[in-house]
Chain A
Amino acid sequence: MSNEAEQDWKDIIHRCFRCGYCKFTYDYNDFNCPSYKKYRFETYSTGGRLWLIYGIINGDLQWSENLANVLYACPTCGNCMENCRFDKFNFLLVDMIEAARAEAVKKGFCPEKQKALLARTKNPDMYNPYGEPNSDNEDLKKEYNLPDKAEWVYYIGCTSNYRQKNLRDATIRFLKKANIDFTLIDEHCCCSPIMRTGQISPVQDFMNYNIAQIINAGASKVITSCAGCYRTLKKDWLKFGAEYDFEVYHTIELVNKLLDEEKIKIKSEYNKTITYHDPCHLGRHMGVYDIPRDVIKRIPGVNFVEMERNRENAWCCGAGGGVKIGYPEWAVEISGERLEEAKETGATILSSVCPFCRTNLSDANDKYNMGFEVLDLIEILDQLEIEAME
């Protein structure tokens, strides 16, 4: 860990020079910061935000509703971290924005729409940001005949459990087909949405609760089909002091591992042209780029094509960082740009491995009549004949 990583972010933030690399793609051919591209005032670049935050810290600025709005109009996609040239602190840029959001919350400037995320998540009848009655997942366990204790826990995540049930069910069916010994828990939100929006007060309790549930299920491994949950469990919980010894996998990592170990075989063909959208939480935030591509390429019959902006250079779907709830129309606009790019590839299937990306890309697909099939990779695998080899 570098010295900078150990320092308080407030002692580092003034080191941003506002040179503007953070706005671009890696080859400068376009702005790749969704927020700057939309708003265009320097204020809405990462550099602008850091200068505003530093202004608050040194007393030149006071908190205001508009200042909070500038801080929240950012999907925290991490393009800035990827393109900022100051490698002593570029990995902290999004953390600094999120920390400033937490300050905004403390000072009472959290935007109303974002507040709803916290209220719903904390509601003991819900424990999820969607405001749905909490599912303890017992019905699912019965439906799929799952044990109470198992080697793996499938941590479904709120978006899959309450908004993208097909993705959830496809994951469960895949795990069954692959003979994975798994179960479900009565999970509470992983807290990604409230962390991203600086509303961190309940995180510790939720995290401890979820960890206890996983341990009680006897699991040594956790699988999640959500890029946001994956990042949160594997990275953010540790920042909040979590101590656990289970392993965390994204579904696609498990699929790849099973294929590598020849424990499953894809028996049928998928004769379609697929492009892949990198979820920011899996890509730029966790560095997982090759695995989903490797899986796609191992599906017989697939014609895989890349979008111009891919991997570290990918254009965000626009859903993250509280943008989907705070700026719903803009979030869909951002996805609209992604779909235009996907159109250029000739693909008919736009795939990803994140229910949040899937939701937002689907919303844009509907709004702009783009005609794609927007599918999670696990939903594609669900359409195929999968044979377990043992």
Chain B
Amino acid sequence: MSKIEVLSKLEDIVGKDFASNNREELFIYSQDPGVSHPRQVDYVVMPETVQEVQQIVRIANEKKIPIVPMGGGLTLSGLVIPVKGGIVLDTKRMDKIIEINETSRYALIEAGVTSGQLISHLREKYPDLQPPYPDAPPSVTLAGNALIHGSGYLSQKYGDHASMINGLEVVLPNGEVCKVGSCALSKYWFTRGPIPDLIGLFTSAFGTMGIVTKISIKLFPKPKLRNIVIGLIKNLDTIPGLVLNLTATDIPEDLMVALAEKPDFMKGYAILLLYITGDSQDELDSKTKILKKMYRKNKATFMKLPPRYYDIFLEQPQFAAKAADFRKGGGFEYVGSFLPLEKIPAAIEKARDISLKYGIVPTQVSRIIGRGHNVMFAASYSFNRADLDDMERARKALHETNEMVLELGGIPWKSELAGQKLIIEKMDPNYKILLRTIRKVLDPNGIMNPGNWEV
């Protein structure tokens, strides 16, 4: 079948306006804001319904055309740039908020709902509830974030965002629709079990197992007030102990350790960003008092900053994309990784060395997940998109950081192809066999984002 015929079939499904192989769409969808090299895209399609997704997948299967589902397109690690050409299926027209269940506290939404959309919807209609979302622009999708094993708001208290998935509706590689989680048998999308938990098949799978069209994500109570208690840490080795002590209390809603060696006076220090919430100022004051004492005991210094900094730190979601202009160049990418808490001091030092080696200002953040059971450690490398050498330096820094993380016993998160390769090299052979077997069963034609997780 010629490309024109494929396009025509896609147009029949979604309408002429939402299927394209114009060079301009192919150009834009062949790259993301990270350092991945552009890769070929053959078609871009924007379905609106699950039925349309099914039809697209069936055509892809019939014609053995690779298909790559896309949410916000902001993983930065090239996960939605096809490796072997084919169709990019942009889910952003699937943007309905289907249900907010206030009692069981979940949101059932379509895959293209952005974090901005749900945050705004809840603020207006359900001010006592808050969703989990990442420190990313409001254009990211909540489904995409949860499915890549994202973290962010509420992760300290409640875990990573993949663990907050109650259920999924998925179009499988054969075009059939499957529901996983309690929605497999109940009209309530309120929990993952107690049946064999298949949600995990679709998390961190980068679209290789199917295309998620609906997701139920947990919502959480939203206290009336929120503030930040900032601490300064001089001795990085104290971080694990400090975090353990802090998370042993019920106080931090979110907790991060950040390192940014600009301005210059910040060199050699890490900043503790601890978010507290409460229903009264008295409650916040009392929590702050406890924390100040705890900081002192653990050799950290309480810091009071000018009000404008509080505005920056308390913005939701934070403007993390500002790193893209650090080198006046419209780009940054980071190695996010899951690391054990005890390895954070070493990771900070090593990532700092990598940054300096490549002439990039060290910029890192360690987000505590689930009271320290895990830490999302991110080492960010800004680059200038107009300077190919600068981009190459960032690529090398990312790669060395991936290696460093793996050496420390951690796992690179939402990793680009080169990082996936490093992960696969270290993987237990039987894990690989199991993964390969499952994929072969689900996707015998190998159409689902091929090139990723090539075990």
Using a CB–CB distance below 8 Å, which chain A residues touch chain B?
11, 14-21, 23-24, 27-29, 39-43, 48, 51-52, 54-55, 58, 60-61, 64, 66-67, 70, 85-86, 88
Contacts and interface: CB of A to CB of B under 8 A. Distances in A.
Contact of A14 (B114, B124, B139, B386): B386
Interface string B41-74: 0001010000000000000000000000000111
Contact of B24 (A16, A20, A43, A85): A43
Interface string B399-418: 00000000000000000000
A218 to B, nearest CB: 49
Contact of A52 (B17, B28, B329, B385): B28
Given A19-B33, A19-B139, A41-B44, A60 B328 contact: no
A66 B139 contact: no
Given A29-B117, A41-B28, A85-B319, A19 B324 contact: yes
Identify which of B20, B22, B332 gathers the most chain A CB atoms within 10 Å of its CB.
B22
A103 B92 CA distance: 31
A19 B33 CA distance: 8
Contacts of B436: none
B330 A14 contact: yes
Contacts of B25: 41, 43
Contacts of B253: none
A17 B325 contact: yes
Interface string B5-43: 000000000000110101111011101010000100000
A27 B33 contact: no
Closest 7 CB pairs of A and B: A28-B116, A20-B139, A17-B324, A29-B120, A19-B137, A19-B321, A28-B138
Given A40-B18, A43-B25, A28 B322 contact: no
Contacts of A54: 385
Contacts of A64: 23-24
Nearest to B384: A14
A21 B123 contact: no
Nearest to A21: B137
Contacts of A67: 23-24
Interface in B363-399: 384-386
Q: Is the interface of B mostly helix, strand, loop or mixed?
A: mixed
A91 to B, nearest CB: 14
Nearest to B320: A19
Contact of A16 (B18, B90, B330): B330
B325 A88 contact: yes
Nearest to B22: A66
Contacts, number: 105
A116 B34 CA distance: 41
B322 A85 contact: yes
Contacts of A61: 23-24, 27
Contacts of B304: none
Contact of B123 (A15, A23, A24, A27): A27
A23 B325 contact: no
A28 B28 contact: no
A54 to B, nearest CB: 8
B319 A55 contact: no
Given A29-B120, A64-B24, 19 more contacts: A14-B384, A14-B385, A15-B385, A17-B33, A17-B330, A18-B33, A19-B74, A20-B72, A20-B74, A21-B321, A28-B119, A28-B138, A40-B18, A42-B28, A58-B386, A67-B24, A85-B321, A86-B325, A88-B328
B440 interface: no
Nearest to B20: A41
Given A15-B330, A52-B24, A21 B325 contact: no
Contacts of A58: 386
B93 interface: yes
B139 A24 contact: yes
Contact of A15 (B18, B44, B138, B329): B329
Nearest to B321: A19
A73 to B, nearest CB: 11
B331 interface: yes
